[in-house]
Amino acid sequence: MPADIVHLVRHGEVHNPKRVLYGRLEGFGLSELGHRMAASAVTALAAHEVTALYASPLQRAQESAAPWAEAFGLPIHTEERIIEPTNRFEGKRMNKRTLAHPKHWHLMRDPSVPTWGEPFVEIANRMLTAMRDAHERTEFGEVVMVSHQLPIWMAHRAVAGKRLAHDPRKRRCSLSSVTSFAWRDGAFTEIGYQDPAADLLAQSIDLGAV
C-alpha cells in the first residue's frame, strides 16, 4: 500500500544580505533564523509516521531537510523535479527600478506564462509527477518533500483546479510552512496547511523567492 500523505515543506529563511532574487544561484544557505525555522517545521509532524524524505538539490532545501532526517532517522533523497524554477531576474534586486528598466520589458510581456522564467504549467506538472512517484514508491507512512514557494504554490493551485497564473503577493506559502496532500480516487487532494514557524516570521526577510 503506498504512502498515505505527501507533505510539501518550504525551506526556512535564507542568508541574503544583498536582498537579491536568488533563484537557483549557488551559495544561498539558511540564516541562523532559517535553521530555527527548519527545526520548528518538524514539530508540525512530530507525532506522524514520516517514512520518506526528499529535498530539492539547492542548499537551502537540503539544509532545511536536515532536521527531518535527524528527527525521523531518514536519508535525504535529492529530487531534481522539486527545485526552484528558472528566472531571468536571478541575482537582481527586485524593485521598481529593476522592473522599470527598458532592457527588462520584454521579460514581462506575458505574466500569465510567465515570460521571465519557467512556465507555470511546467512547474505544476513536474511537481505533481514527483509527488505521485514519491507516493507510489513509499510503501507506507507519510512523505516529506522540502521545496520552494512557487513550486509548492503551483501544486496547490493545480490540485485545486485553479488557474496557474496568479498574484505572487497573495501566495499562501510562508517560510517553513507545511502543505499536505492525500491521494484519493486517483488524484491528490489538499488536506491541510500549517505555519509552524509563525512566531518567527515577523523577524524574517523573504525577498529571494521566485
Whole-number average pLDDT of the chain: 95
Which one has a higher pLDDT value, 74 or 96? 74
**Cα distance between residue 83 and residue 80, in whole Å:** 6
pLDDT at site 153: 98
Report the CATH number that the domain containing residue 12 is assigned in CATH: 3.40.50.1240
Q: How confident is the model at residue 1 (pLDDT cuts 50, 70, 90)?
A: low
Query: 207 in a domain, yes or no?
Result: no
The residue segments making up the domain with residue 148 are: 5-201
pLDDT at site 24: 96
Query: 206 in a domain, yes or no?
Result: no
Query: 182 in a domain, yes or no?
Result: yes
Query: 209 in a domain, yes or no?
Result: no
Q: Supply 153's cell numbers.
A: 504554490
Q: Pick from 107, 151, 113, 171: which is nearest to 6 by CA? A: 151
Q: How many domains does the chain have?
A: 1
Per-residue pLDDT tens over the stretch 81-129: 999 999 999 989 888 888 878 888 898 899 999 999 999 999 999 999 9
Query: 164 in a domain, yes or no?
Result: yes
**Cα distance between residue 197 and residue 133, in whole Å:** 28
Edge-to-edge strands of the sheet including 142-147? 77-78, 50-55, 142-147, 5-10, 178-184, 187-194
pLDDT at site 105: 87
Which amino acid, residue 138?
A: T
pLDDT at site 133: 97
Per-residue pLDDT tens over the stretch 155-204: 999 999 999 999 998 999 999 999 999 999 999 999 999 999 999 999 99
List beta partners, residue 78.
55
DSSP secondary structure letters along 123-191: HHHHHHHHHHHHHHH--SSEEEEEE-HHHHHHHHHHHHT--S---GGG----TT-EEEEEEETTEEEEE
Query: 168 in a domain, yes or no?
Result: yes
Query: Is pLDDT at 51 greater than 90 in this prediction?
Result: yes
Q: How confident is the model at residue 4 (pLDDT cuts 50, 70, 90)?
A: confident
Which one has a higher pLDDT value, 142 or 99? 142
DSSP secondary structure letters along 64-109: HHHHHHHHHT---EE-GGGSPPPBTTTTS--SHHHHHSGGGGGGGS
CB atoms within 10 A of CB 174: 20
Query: 55 in a domain, yes or no?
Result: yes
Query: Is pLDDT at 54 greater than 80 in this prediction?
Result: yes
Query: 208 in a domain, yes or no?
Result: no
Q: Supply 157's cell numbers.
A: 493551485
